[in-house]
Structure 1
Amino acid sequence: MTGEAARIGQRIRTWRLKQGRSQAVIAGLVGITEDYLSRIERGRRLPTIPVLLLLARELGVEPSALLDAADSEQIPPAPDGSIDADVAACLLRAGATGEACVVTSQVLRERVDEVWQLWQTSSTRFTDAAALLPALIADVESARRRGGTEPVERRETHRCAADLYGLLRSYCRRTGSRDLGLLVADRAMRAAEDADDPVRMAAATWNLGHMLLNNDQSDGAEETVVHTIESLSRLPASREVAALIGALELVAVVAAARQRQWWRARERLSAQAFPAAERVGESNVLGTVFGPTNVQLHALSIEMEAGNASAALHVADTIETGHLPIERRFTFLLEVARCYDLDRDDAGAFVTLLDIEQMAPEDLTRSPLAREIITDLRNRSTRTYRRQISALAERVGIA
């Protein structure tokens, strides 16, 4: 029994008993077994984020009522335990607790842009972002609730919120928190709709598509982005619109690949994404990083997922990623390492992993694929590399 599990369980039990409701009733309404709820209340299980949200909704209380707002350690962690507890707490409370500063949309814009800059460039981006995000989430939500009388100010505040939650989608995805990722993707969409901003609504759809892919819902991701592509095509032509269309095309490409329809993924990449990238050039509209290089990265991904490691490595040799944000460079090198791993080229995989560790150590530690590759290498390593690979495994926390 852990302390946080016991305290959360006790609060759930207290709220349930205050309402005179049985475990059987609450469990049935939430969609879990009575035994599971019993173990939660006894502190034997820490509820997952979706279960916690459902329990709070059914008991008619804020999620924060089931958590100790003064103790961030009581936030249920993401599956890999890597999400910052203060960020998770603020997302669950939507900035509704504590005192938030009264700030203008101009100040919010500067702070949102600062976090985006850190997220895309810093080798310690998780630590850096986690230091800034809780206060920023609270201030953005406070500004949105406060509203104001000036339409331009209100609209810019909603745009700041949409951009912030777009970043948080990436943050939640990289920390392994799928449920919070869907939550922030939904908030990005609502903020973009409140701003009446079609380009940001498209970016929010791009975010949602990635979260659906991350939750193994490739059919839903493809249907969602294709509908948005059609809507964007009716807007006046601009580089922003073209970049968003291209970024959405890449989500559809990934969706086809996840369904193992390699021919369809390759065809969409060549017929839709490549021409769009040639028209747009290298861009980073609302964090989508769409352009010729990103399209090439997706060509690499298709061949890797199809098991064509040699073909994927041939594509990788033609790609220069130095100008890309750190997240895309990390993904590129990780997929190169995976291709070497599939080819049983242990030296190539190991050297690439060392390059990743130097560039983005926090990403390496948090990546399930990276941990899988390192484990593979350690399990089959020869005497030549065993000590070095075991040391790398220890540094990323693999027992």
Structure 2
Amino acid sequence: MAEDFTGARVRYWRLKRGLSQRTLAGLAGMTQGYVSQIEAGLKEIDKRSTLIRLAGALQVSVSELVDLPGPESPELNAAEATVPAIRAALNVARLHEAVEPRRTLAEVSAVVAGLAPTWKAARYDQLSLLMPELLTDLHGLATTGDEQTQRAALRLLVEAMHCATSTLRHLSCGDLAMIAADLGHAAAVELDEPVWRGVADYVRLVTLPAESKPITRRLAVEAADRLADGPESSEALQVAGMLHLSAAFSAATAEDAPETATHLSEARRLAERTGEGGFATMQFGPTNVAFWETSIAVATGEGGRVREIARRVEPDRIDSDTRKAAYFIDYGRGLAQTRRNDAEAVASFIRAERTAPQRTRRSPAARESVGTMLRRAQANAGGNQLRELASRIGVA
């Protein structure tokens, strides 16, 4: 498409399906005027539930509407070049191929221990280079070593697949991310340790497509209940908290406000007990709960609430640049939804970009909001900062 933004894709699929704007609006439960504004790129699809209804009416997946290509850069080009090798390594594990690890358990453990800081910095170019050999070695150790080696390798495999899943999602490889999540989940089930099973449950949940949110909600509740039945520890409470946050987001997408509030309340209660945690690079704690509240406000079209939430947020309490950047993106999106705070929204997107450049420039949500602000601005009235930001993140 000459212009690639969500509204342009809505128009493309509407015409391909032979639908008028009026017919599409009726199928999706909205007004024709709203569809017209979306297609013109003058208004974002503010609610996640609306996006899902539009995709359903057009008979496409949500990803076909929102997974927009990012800007070219040497770092991201290098990361994308590793995807075939990552796919091959995942297939080796998925098909249970026999392989001999090239490195010892101690050597592989050191590599996995070094993933966290690189992951927190959102350096997908560096992470993706490590993945093919690491995943192959872990598969080999988990299937050929003695029992102690195998169990240690399974734990490391859950961690590594968590990292691989996140990296692949941000490289727009959603199907491979789901394969990685499923492999991590299988390793956790075999390991049979409740906390690591909970981590793998959470990782699998975040890879499910938007259309699967009812399933996500059910699986998140089941996983949290399993943890509640097991031994209590700080790690278990952190994982349970993340599962409740996932359930809250899924409930919000389904426009179930009471259930959203219930899961958020439980996550806050757990966060009060754990404080700021860092287990399994999840960063669960009071700050991350507020980050998720911001995401939920944006997903439900209540962008005006992000200022209120921000009053109790100190982003630097989170030891993860990628997580902070995600919050700044959501804060900017919330302000952009109000259509009254574009200058402050731009400042938040720039802050996200400075915090984690690759994370921000690979964010379809950031590009969509910035593009919408740019298109609705008066000619040459968008301001240099907005135009320069739009160019850097690949918005025409």
What TM-score, normalized by structure 2, do the two folds share?
0.74
Per-residue displacement from partner, 1:252-294 (whole Å, max 9, x unpaired)? 1111011111232123212x11111111111122122211111
Alignment of 1:104-253 (within 5 A): 104-120=104-120, 122=121, 125-145=123-143, 147-149=144-146, 151-212=147-208, 214-253=209-248
1:326 deviates by 1.6
Cα distance change of structure 1 residues 210 and 95 upon mapping to structure 2, 3 Å threshold: closer
Cα distance change of structure 1 residues 184 and 359 upon mapping to structure 2, 3 Å threshold: same
1:216 deviates by 2.4
2:358 maps to a residue whose letter is E
Cα distance change of structure 1 residues 93 and 109 upon mapping to structure 2, 3 Å threshold: closer
What TM-score, normalized by structure 1, do the two folds share?
0.74
Q: Distance in 2 between matches of 1:359 and 1:238?
A: 32
- 8 Å Cα contact 1:95-1:139 kept in structure 2: no
1:391 equivalenced with 2:388 (yes/no): yes
Per-residue displacement from partner, 1:2-33 (whole Å, max 9, x unpaired)? xxxxxxxxxxxxxxxxxxxxxxxxxxxxxxxx
1:137 maps to a residue whose letter is L
- 8 Å Cα contact 2:242-2:282 kept in structure 1: yes
1:269 equivalenced with 2:267 (yes/no): no
1:350 equivalenced with 2:350 (yes/no): no
- 8 Å Cα contact 1:283-1:291 kept in structure 2: yes
1:372 equivalenced with 2:372 (yes/no): no
1:285 maps to a residue whose letter is F
1:298 equivalenced with 2:295 (yes/no): no
1:300 deviates by 2.0
1:100 deviates by 7.0
Structure possessing the higher radius of gyration over alpha carbons = 1
2:275 maps to a residue whose letter is G
* 2:316 match: secondary structure: coil
Runs of 4+ with >6 A deviation: 97-100
Q: Distance in 1 between matches of 2:220 and 2:270?
A: 15
Cα distance change of structure 1 residues 329 and 394 upon mapping to structure 2, 3 Å threshold: same
Cα distance change of structure 1 residues 395 and 79 upon mapping to structure 2, 3 Å threshold: closer
1:160 deviates by 0.9
1:92 deviates by 3.5
- Equivalent of 1:335 in 330, 333, 349: 330
Q: Distance in 2 between matches of 1:367 and 1:323?
A: 23
Per-residue displacement from partner, 1:337-369 (whole Å, max 9, x unpaired)? 011111221111111111112111111211111
Per-residue displacement from partner, 1:177-204 (whole Å, max 9, x unpaired)? 2111110110001111232322111110
Q: Distance in 2 between matches of 1:364 and 1:115?
A: 20
Cα distance change of structure 1 residues 216 and 284 upon mapping to structure 2, 3 Å threshold: farther
- 8 Å Cα contact 2:98-2:140 kept in structure 1: no
Q: Distance in 2 between matches of 1:87 and 1:337?
A: 31
Cα distance change of structure 1 residues 330 and 140 upon mapping to structure 2, 3 Å threshold: same
1:99 deviates by 8.9
- 8 Å Cα contact 1:95-1:141 kept in structure 2: no
* 1:260 match: secondary structure: coil
- 8 Å Cα contact 2:185-2:200 kept in structure 1: yes
- 8 Å Cα contact 1:266-1:302 kept in structure 2: no
Instruction: Structure 2 unaligned segments of length 5 or more: list them.
Output: 1-66, 71-75
Q: Distance in 1 between matches of 2:119 and 2:162?
A: 12
More contact order relative to length (CA 8 Å, sep ≥ 6): 2
* 1:290 match: secondary structure: coil
Q: Distance in 1 between matches of 2:86 and 2:169?
A: 17
1:391 maps to a residue whose letter is E
- 8 Å Cα contact 1:300-1:315 kept in structure 2: yes
Q: Name the residue aligned to 1:87.
A: 83
Per-residue displacement from partner, 1:110-143 (whole Å, max 9, x unpaired)? 10121222111x25x1112123222222222232
- 8 Å Cα contact 2:326-2:352 kept in structure 1: no
Per-residue displacement from partner, 1:77-119 (whole Å, max 9, x unpaired)? x974866232343333437499975322222111012122211
Cα distance change of structure 1 residues 339 and 242 upon mapping to structure 2, 3 Å threshold: same
- 8 Å Cα contact 1:243-1:276 kept in structure 2: yes
- 8 Å Cα contact 1:173-1:181 kept in structure 2: yes
How many residue pairs match? The answer is 316
Q: Distance in 2 between matches of 1:232 and 1:183?
A: 24
Per-residue displacement from partner, 1:206-245 (whole Å, max 9, x unpaired)? 0111112x44211111111211222211212111111111
Q: Distance in 1 between matches of 2:68 and 2:173?
A: 7
- 8 Å Cα contact 2:158-2:185 kept in structure 1: yes
1:318 equivalenced with 2:315 (yes/no): no
- 8 Å Cα contact 1:95-1:138 kept in structure 2: no
